[in-house]
Chains A and B, each alone.
Chain A
Amino acid sequence: MQFKLFDLGLIDYQSAWDFQKSVFLQVKVKQIHCALILCQHKPAITMGRKSDKGNILADKEDLQRLNIRIFEIERGGEVTYHGPGQLCVYPIVNLAYFKKDINWFLRSLEALILEVLLEFGIQAQTRPGLTGVWVNREKIASIGIAIKSWITFHGLSLNVKSSDLANFSLIRPCGQDIMMTSIENILRERVEIKRVKETLTRRWYETSNFARIG
C-alpha cells in the first residue's frame, strides 16, 4: 500500500486542516492511495464533536493575549491543545484497503505510538476502554479521528518537547483531569522533533499495521 508522505513543518491549524481535506479528496477519488501528513501547529485549541465548552478553562482575553484560536472540528473526542513541540500525525487512510473497523484503526495508531516510544526507551501504556497513550499516570499522546466513506482524517498528537506543555493548563484535556507529559519530560534530555518524525515514519512504512496489510 502506498502512503504519500507530506511534511508540512510548523503550520497554522486552519491551513493544515484545509490541506487534510484536500488530500482526503485525492484519496477519495483514488488519485492517491493513502497519505500520511506530519506537522506541528502554531498554538491552537481544537474541540471535537463531544466537546464541552466548559473544558476550556482560559477566558477569551487570555487566549487572545496568547494568540490561541479555538477550532470546532469534525473529529471525535473532546477538547485538546496543539502547539509547537508536539508532533501531529494525520493519516488519510482508505480503510477499505485494510479493515473497515474503527477500533482496529484506533488500536493500530496506539500500537504505532507505543513502538515509537519504545525506540526512545520509553515504556508507555494504553488503557482499557480509553483511547490514547500514557506513561504511568500521565498522557503523552492523544487520538481523535473522523471517517467519511471509510476514509480517515485527523489523527494523533504526540508530545515531544517539554516547552509547550504549560498551555495544556488552559483546558481540561479530553474533558478529564489529566496531566500531560512529553518525550523530553520523561527522558529529561533534549529530543529533536526530526528524530521522532524519522522514527515514526520508518515504523509506519516498515512495521505498523499499515505496512503489513494492504
Chain B
Amino acid sequence: MKQVILPELGEGIEGASVTYWYFKEGDTVKEKDDLVELATDKATFNLPSPCSGALKQILRKEGDKVKVGEALATIEEQ
C-alpha cells in the first residue's frame, strides 16, 4: 500500500486545501495521472499519482485542509 503525501510546495507554504478529486475510491489509476487538485491562496496545484494501482482510500475530502507531509490517500499498487 502506498500513501499519497502532500509534497513541499514552496517556502513558507504549510499546506493546501483539497479542491477536486479526479478519481473516486476503487478507481484504477496510472502513475503520473492527475490524482487530486489542491489550492493555496492564489494557486492551484495538481498532484500526480505516485504509482499505478487501485485508489483504496481517500483520506482528505474536497474542502479539507492538508499539511505538507500528510497523507491524502492510499493506493494499492499493481
Q: Which residues of A contact B (CB under 8 A)?
A: 48-50, 74-77, 100-106, 131, 143-149
Contact = CB atoms under 8 A, between A and B. Distances in A.
Contacts of A49: 19, 37, 39, 44
Given A49-B19, A49-B39, A148-B34, A75 B13 contact: no
B48 to A, nearest CB: 7
A131 B11 contact: no
A104 B43 contact: no
Interface of B: 8-13, 19, 32, 34, 37, 39-46, 48
Contact of B41 (A77, A100, A147, A149): A77
A77 B9 contact: no
Given A76-B40, A101-B10, A145-B43, 20 more contacts: A50-B39, A50-B41, A75-B44, A77-B42, A101-B9, A102-B9, A102-B13, A102-B40, A103-B9, A103-B11, A103-B13, A104-B10, A105-B43, A106-B43, A131-B42, A144-B43, A146-B44, A147-B43, A147-B46, A149-B48
B46 A76 contact: no
